[in-house]
């Protein structure tokens, strides 16, 4: 079989053209020709159903096999009988973490995942997955030797039938039980029910699994009966892993849906949230749901998402009782775009300029590698800095601002993935990340090795993914190494006043030269003149003014 991947498809489009004006809402998109490859199962996530048994937990080993699909040997582990992998020790990061978390020894998630399992499948070559039954990201086929690159596109650019197909895929993921993974509903100490010789794991739908993994990564540390829970811990936000964690999180959902649809070309679209203004352009009934006429915080009954019910909302229970979010879902998604009248700063979406400016921040992350890092690209796109990179405790920008703008389920950290806008908001954030990696020549040395908040060190296994995957593994260019690319054209930068003046002077000189020469450069003259006439867009966008809020970021 022959697989063709055009080189142009592997490079996200768009270099900054300093002399071209951008127009908000009119970003253009390159069309990308792409030939997709055959579907191949690639499961990525927490504990496989086969390992959710008392015996597996007691042994500390989670090494299921590929019998009967890929091996005739019923005792196969990790595809060893067919040369795909071996059962081996889990490697964990033991470098020091930052000062935010001081309860070492208390939390199940420390040195993930050895509190649960210390042996896992270690796959060879391009084989991958909890049992080495699938392929590394970017590969497919029985022998994992065929390239696979799915193209993530702007939701608004999808044709009506493509839009419908995406909505249907999400809805199917919401109602289909995850084929491979189950969720823990108790901390480790209570995970095995000794008397009944069972464990406290539950089945959960593919989409709710996506919500659960996010919840589990941000939940507090349970201190014990009657003692509540402590913060200072977040495995997926306020640190360098913010970008790598959410990248893997999306890849997991995308693969799960590809498997569900038996369609390897399925790609998650994105929402370009950097459009300014106070309108949610994707909040329509053919997309993510319009506002309901029956309540400003609810979704219109014409949207399938009005029937979705959310999981992981009983945080007080989890934190006081020491339980973990389970598959119970009772309330609807709440959303009120631009509706937070008490906080005007979050009633507007980020501006296109904000994305351009943040892409120019040179360093990936800076000490203390936290939500108060300054001149850190990660902290800037996450949204705790001015878009320029300057830390300012009162500012909420880019990713954080897009979440808070939603003023509802999608704006609360522990719940946010319940609103499917989360998926689109994060693919766009990931697109900016990939563009930054491309422009700044990705090098893993730019990712901090130690002294980041717990879970955020370069070699830390991201909580709670299974099989273990480190932050480092996601710090690569997606089209080259992860099996997907973005079809996006970045807006070019607005001109600064000095640039305008420079161009005006040059244009005037050119004009004079042309007049004197009396020659035929009419085309060139018109171009320069039109540039001179452009307004100073770069100076005109508003700054967000608001006192620091204690509300959770997202
Ligand atoms: C692995 O985990 C098992 C079960 O918790 C434990 O008995 C064993 O000592 C551990 N092995 C290592 C090398 O940590
Ligand atoms: C628990 O049940 C499994 C079968 O489900 C059995 O193999 C195992 O011996 C039992 N363990 C105990 C301690 O009873
Ligand atoms: C989950 O569902 C599967 C298939 O229906 C069933 O065999 C299994 O017992 C369930 N597991 C749990 C933990 O409920
Ligand atoms: C699921 O979580 C809810 C909310 O905390 C709780 O009331 C319920 O008892 C839990 N269900 C199970 C089976 O533990
Ligand atoms: C939504 O906005 C209202 C009104 O300003 C505010 O009281 C509420 O806390 C906000 N809710 C969320 C989840 O952001
Ligand atoms: C960042 O925040 C931490 C914790 O609040 C604080 O200890 C530290 O001094 C702050 N660092 C900077 C550079 O502001
Ligand atoms: C932080 O942002 C606020 C609101 O935009 C602004 O008033 C303030 O001057 C900024 N502080 C610094 C140090 O730039």
Which residues, given as ranges, of the chain have pLDDT below 70?
Answer: 1-46, 494-499, 514-554
- Residues at CB less than 6 angstroms from ligand 3: 182, 201-203
- Residues at CB less than 6 angstroms from ligand 1: 60, 118
User: Residue 502: its pLDDT value, please?
Assistant: 74
Round to whole Å and give the CA distance between 151 and 36: 10
- Phi and psi dihedrals of 293, rounded to 5? -75, -10
Distance 326 CA to ligand 4 centre (A): 6
User: Residue 495: its pLDDT value, please?
Assistant: 64
- Does an H or E element contain 320, and which? helix 315-321
Q: If we measure between CA atoms, which residue out of 489, 478, 244, 496 comes closest to residue 388?
A: 496
- At residue 227, the 3 state secondary structure works out as coil
- Phi and psi dihedrals of 476, rounded to 5? -145, 165
553 lines ligand 5 (CB under 6 A): no
Distance 432 CA to ligand 7 centre (A): 25
Nearest atom within ligand 3 for CA of residue 52: 13
pLDDT in tens, 52-65: 999 999 999 999 99
Round to whole Å and give the CA distance between 495 and 504: 12
550 lines ligand 5 (CB under 6 A): no
Q: What is the DSSP string of 350-402?
A: PPHHHHHHHHT---S--TT-STT-SS-HHHHHHTSB-TTS-B-TT---HHHHH
Give the pair of three-digit tokens for residue 187. Answer: 């901390």
Distance 183 CA to ligand 3 centre (A): 11
Give the pair of three-digit tokens for residue 18. Answer: 């300093």
Decide if 240 contacts 365 (C-beta within 8 A): yes
From the CA of 177, the nearest ligand is 3
User: Residue 260: its pLDDT value, please?
Assistant: 97
Nearest atom within ligand 2 for CA of residue 54: 1
User: Residue 510: its pLDDT value, please?
Assistant: 75
Q: Residue 546: how many CA atoms within 13 Å on its side-chain side? A: 21
pLDDT in tens, 263-275: 988 999 999 999 9
Distance 89 CA to ligand 2 centre (A): 25
Q: Closest Cα to atom 11, ligand 5: which residue? A: 407
Go through 100-127 and write b for each residue having 16 or more CB atoms within 10 A of its CB, e for each that does not.
bbeeeeebbbbbbbbbbbbbbbbbeebb
Nearest atom within ligand 7 for CA of residue 544: 5
Round to whole Å and give the CA distance between 371 and 378: 9
Round to whole Å and give the CA distance between 432 and 377: 10
Other Cβ atoms closer than 10 A to 334:
22
**Counting Cβ atoms within 10 Å, is residue 509 exposed (0-12), middle (13-18) or buried (19+)?**
exposed
* Whole-Å CA distances, 507 to 231, 493, 531: 59, 19, 9
Which residue among 46, 47, 49 has the greatest number of ligand 3 atoms within 8 angstroms of its CB, and so is best to mutate? 49
185 lines ligand 4 (CB under 6 A): yes
User: Residue 519: its pLDDT value, please?
Assistant: 56
Nearest atom within ligand 7 for CA of residue 392: 1
Q: Closest Cα to atom 2, ligand 3: which residue? A: 203
Distance 329 CA to ligand 4 centre (A): 10
Q: What is the DSSP letter of 456?
A: -
Nearest atom within ligand 6 for CA of residue 391: 14
Q: Closest Cα to atom 2, ligand 2: which residue? A: 197
Site of tokens 């999400």: 170
Q: Closest Cα to atom 3, ligand 7: which residue? A: 545
From the CA of 51, the nearest ligand is 3
Distance 367 CA to ligand 6 centre (A): 9
pTM for this entry: 0.85
546 lines ligand 5 (CB under 6 A): no
547 lines ligand 7 (CB under 6 A): no
User: Residue 512: its pLDDT value, please?
Assistant: 73
* Whole-Å CA distances, 440 to 85, 384, 437, 446, 486: 35, 21, 5, 10, 17
Distance 315 CA to ligand 5 centre (A): 18
């Amino acid at each position: 079989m022959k697989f063709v991947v055009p080189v142009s498809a592997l490079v996200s489009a768009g270099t900054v053209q300093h002399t071209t004006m951008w127009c908000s809402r009119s970003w253009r998109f390159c069309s990308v020709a792409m030939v997709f490859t055959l579907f191949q199962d690639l499961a990525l996530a927490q504990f496989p159903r086969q390992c959710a048994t008392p015996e597996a937990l007691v042994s500390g080993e989670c090494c299921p096999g590929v019998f009967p699909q890929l091996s005739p040997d019923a005792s196969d582990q990790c595809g060893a009988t067919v040369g795909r992998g071996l059962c081996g020790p889990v490697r964990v990061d033991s470098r020091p973490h930052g000062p935010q978390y001081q309860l070492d020894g208390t939390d199940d998630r420390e040195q993930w995942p050895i509190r649960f399992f210390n042996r896992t499948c270690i796959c060879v070559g391009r084989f991958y997955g909890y049992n080495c039954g699938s392929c590394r990201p970017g590969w497919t086929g029985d022998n994992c030797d065929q390239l696979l690159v799915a193209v993530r596109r702007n939701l608004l650019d999808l044709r009506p039938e493509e839009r419908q197909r995406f909505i249907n895929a999400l809805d199917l993921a919401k109602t289909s039980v995850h084929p491979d993974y189950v969720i823990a509903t108790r901390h480790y100490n209570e995970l095995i029910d000794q008397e009944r010789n069972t464990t406290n794991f539950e089945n959960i739908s593919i989409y709710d699994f996506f919500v659960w993994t996010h919840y589990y990564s941000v939940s507090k540390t349970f201190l014990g009966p009657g003692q509540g829970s402590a913060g200072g811990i977040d495995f997926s936000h306020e640190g360098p892993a913010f970008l790598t964690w959410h990248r893997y999180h999306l890849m997991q959902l995308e693969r799960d849906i590809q498997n569900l649809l038996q369609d390897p070309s399925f790609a998650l679209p994105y929402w370009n949230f950097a459009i300014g203004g106070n309108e949610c352009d994707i909040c329509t009934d053919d997309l993510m749901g319009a506002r309901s006429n029956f309540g400003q915080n609810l979704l219109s009954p014409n949207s399938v998402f009005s029937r979705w019910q959310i999981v992981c909302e009983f945080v007080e229970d989890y934190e006081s009782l020491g339980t973990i979010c389970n598959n119970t879902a009772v309330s609807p998604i709440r959303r009120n775009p631009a509706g937070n009248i008490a906080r005007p700063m979050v009633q507007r979406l980020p501006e296109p300029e904000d994305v351009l400016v943040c892409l120019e921040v040179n360093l990936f992350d800076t000490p203390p590698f936290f939500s108060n890092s300054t001149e850190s690209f990660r902290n800037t796109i996450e949204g705790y800095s001015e878009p320029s990179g300057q830390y300012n405790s009162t500012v909420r920008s880019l990713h954080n601002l897009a979440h808070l703008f939603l003023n509802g389920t999608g704006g609360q950290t522990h719940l946010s993935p319940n609103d499917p806008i989360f998926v689109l908001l994060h693919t766009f954030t990931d697109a900016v990340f990939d563009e930054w990696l491309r422009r700044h020549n990705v090098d893993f040395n730019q990712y901090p090795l130690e002294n980041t908040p717990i879970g955020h060190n370069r070699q830390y296994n991201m909580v709670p993914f299974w099989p273990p995957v480190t932050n480092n593994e996601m710090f690569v260019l997606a089209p080259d190494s992860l099996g997907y690319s973005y079809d996006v054209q970045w807006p070019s930068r607005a001109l600064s006043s000095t640039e305008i003046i420079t161009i005006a002077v040059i244009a005037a000189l050119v004009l004079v030269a042309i007049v004197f020469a009396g020659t035929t450069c009419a085309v060139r003259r018109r171009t320069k003149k039109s540039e001179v006439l452009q307004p100073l867009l770069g100076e005109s966008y508003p700054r967000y003014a608001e006192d620091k809020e204690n509300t959770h970021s997202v």
